[in-house]
Structure 1
Amino acid sequence: MTWLGIDLGDARVGLSLSDPELTFAHPIGNIQAYGDSFRALDDVIYVIEDEQVDHIVIGLPLLMNGDEGKSAKKARRWATNLIKRMERLAEEGEFRLETTPSVELMDERLTTVSAHHQLYEANIGGRSHRSMVDQQSAVVILQSALDRKER
């Protein structure tokens, strides 16, 4: 089994993968979104197929009070579009996986703060953070889901 973590952003979409035992998440990179995360959908699907992903965890950027703002609604639309596109590809025989992976949205409040702290603790300088923070946020999102599954 392999899980994929996704941190949506307008500049970059950060990605992380689990190990096959579903214990640890690790970063696998970013996909350039060029101002709109929806542009990254096809590239994310390629990763899903290449890595044989069974389950997808997408960060849901809730407001600090727990309400859903514009960003959370966009994340829900993005997840819905991802599911529809995978299902359409499967119907057309173009999806390279036996089954369409399940998708969940996970509260990602403070993941960017946590990701920055982890990068600082790893002695990665502030200038390098911008290119790494999205994939590290994806790690935090996925690791939270993996830890919750263990409990």
Structure 2
Amino acid sequence: MSANLVPLESLLDLPNHARLLGLDLGTKTIGLALSDVERQIATPLETIQRVKFGLDAAALLKIAEKHAVAGLVIGLPLNMDGTEGPRAQSTRAFIRNLSPLTSLPIVFWDERLSTLAVTRTLLDADASRAKRAAVVDKMAAAYILQGALDRLARLAPEEE
């Protein structure tokens, strides 16, 4: 396990006003979402078209630097029974290769059903197939990041 792969709770120790970047890692794209500085709201940011690892990682880290990101939350696509299949193994391999390139803490977040939930939302909004294809990855990243932000809020000690 890499040194910067950390449990979610460790993100509570990040400096105030530090943003998190959510990732939905697909085979063709990487959907990105950004938290606000209070780490309460996740907003879809953009989608990176995957080329090869080196270029993908460079684009990702450039975006993280541009937005002063203090940590990464990456969706881990588990099977419905909680086991890890080929997609989860591919995600772990991507992070294994990314870890030496950054000192940012990285957290895995269970992303089961995130793309399905986002697609249903877009269908309910009557979005066209082309529109859905253009936004589903970054919206799935926001869904993943929002889940982690909500959990962090529940873990945070109450302020007096």
CA distance in 1, matches of 2:105, 2:121: 28
The 1:122–1:57 alpha-carbon spacing in structure 2 relative to 1, beyond 3 Å, is same
Q: TM (normalized to structure 2)?
A: 0.80
CA distance in 1, matches of 2:117, 2:127: 14
1:80 to 96, 108, 130: 96
RMSD value, Cα: 1.5
Deviation >4 Å, runs of 4+: 36-39
Instruction: Tell me what 1:108 maps to.
Output: 111
Q: Is 1:41–2:57 an aligned residue pair?
A: yes
CA distance in 2, matches of 1:60, 1:38: 21
Q: Kindly, what percent of the aligned residue pairs are identical?
A: 36
User: Displacement of 1:126 after TM fit?
Assistant: 2.5
Q: Is the 8 A contact 1:12 1:37 kept in 2?
A: no
Q: Which amino acid aligns with 1:33?
A: R
| Gap regions ≥5 residues in structure 1 | 87-99
Q: Is 1:67–2:83 an aligned residue pair?
A: yes
| Gap regions ≥5 residues in structure 2 | 1-17, 155-160
Q: For residues 1-151 of structure 1, what are the structure 2 equivalents within 5 Å?
A: 1-34=18-51, 39-86=55-102, 100-151=103-154
CA distance in 1, matches of 2:122, 2:143: 12
The 1:32–1:145 alpha-carbon spacing in structure 2 relative to 1, beyond 3 Å, is same
Q: TM (normalized to structure 1)?
A: 0.85
User: Displacement of 1:37 after TM fit?
Assistant: 6.0
How many aligned positions are there? 137
